[in-house]
Structure 1
Amino acid sequence: MTNFSSLTPSGFGAVLDEGTPADPKTVRDVALEAGVTVVKGQTFTEDLFREFVTGLGDTVSYDDDDAAVGYGFTDILHLDGTRDEGKVITGRGGLPLHTDGVLLGTQVDLIVLFAAEVRDLAADGATLVCDQITAWTELPDDLRAVLDRGHLEYIATERGYFTSVPEGWYPIPTFRNYGRVKSLNLALPFQSDEALASWDVRVPNTSAEESGQFFTNLRTHLSDPRYLYEHRWTAGDLVVIDNQRTLHGRRGLANASSRKLLRGQVTLAAIDGAPGAVTS
């Protein structure tokens, strides 16, 4: 698996040769170079997927004091498009562009997704991946100025998932650096037409109208086709995302469609005191 081509006009992303079992080291190295690696035609049971994730680095696992995070999923999360009332992260609605770990203050270097089952999908259920480093480099000055203030304020509304974060609004740095690259530490707000929200975010010390307009403009910039890759799932797809160089999100599922993804998270070299959520 050595030949690959980019996925966006910015030169971001790579599709590896399909038809052979994915090698963790090769997939990791390409993901760290290109931002996201796509490998099709893979076959994993949950145990084999867990073994593959472990081969990429140190698995992020929520246990001990954080055992209730994410409804108690520990290391492998089932993104199965559940219809369970109130569940957003694992539900059927869309998710705005975000970086994993932003609300929890967790260092996540790689996100690993595998399509165990897919039915009746078109554009719905697609995973969106943004080349945030290039998008940040080319960010308009007015948007950059807001992020350069250093913090946005968040509130976790899906308390069953975010069990360990403060209640109410709390500040989170707009940038982070885990030793490889300084990047945006960011989660966009859910849009008004989305029935359920897992979190909300605002610009401190501004009106609701000004804050909303900022996020509308930022979403438009980050969603430009120059930076954004849309992965439409087929069964057997493996996608490994460099969480430090990207933002990602998803499109909601239509009524008849379904897709069951397995998700793992990996930390490479852990950085003591790495920036995350700031307590009030």
Structure 2
Amino acid sequence: MDNYLTTNRANWNARVPIHVDSDFYDVDSFKANGRSVLRPFEVAEVGDVSGRRLVHLQCHLGLDTLSWARLGAEVTGLDFSDAAIDQARAIAADCGIPARFVTADVYDAVGALGETYDIIYTGLGALVWLPELTHWAEVAAALLKPGGFLYLSEFHPFPQVLDEETGTMVTYDYFDRGPHVWEEPYTYTGGRLIESYTSVQFQHGIGDVVSSLAAAGLRVDFLHEHDHTLFRRFPTMSGDRTGYRLPEGTPRIPLMYSLRASAG
């Protein structure tokens, strides 16, 4: 636990060259074709971003960040991986998109950014890297202009309690927050890590997220749960990267969620 940040930063720095070259991110087509990697429900729920200042916390390579810029936002991305931020800056330059990218841990974002924003965006798979959400929510509140909002889309914690094969039996403890230490030589893009493949992750329930935002003085406008996800979470699922679902006729469970919380 004492070294979680150092361990995770090394892990993500090692992932960066693999991710940049992967078919999963397909950086070349992102630069060439002007495409967006945002999910349709995200664009619909956030609404018009034209002329609005948006910061993407835990932005990795910045493809989501730059996708918001292509929709008209003035964007900043922040990530603790210096290797990821170097790539994000290079991709932005190759795309001709004005964007600011800053290297910092999310808990240090207020001082590192020195600005406030209309919109905070944080995307899928971000919260598992944070040991606690109280400070995270306080950072979000401090970064928002009056009337601004945080928008979060995340993988739902409920599937984490189910068995890996069928997704039908409760096997794991929903209230086990971690830390969980993983030794994974492959990333989610399929590439193999030859070093720094240890990571430390944490689980957060829906109540943890909502309560932390409320305690920071933000007003939760909505919490939407979704019956699809972006990878084959269980072998019985079918679909593609736009959405994997359980077989038709199977009782549905929440697989992702999205939330908006506004500043006063």
Of the two structures, which has the highest relative contact order with CA contacts closer than 8 Å and spacing of 6 or more? 1
TM-score, structure 2 as length reference: 0.26
TM-score, structure 1 as length reference: 0.25
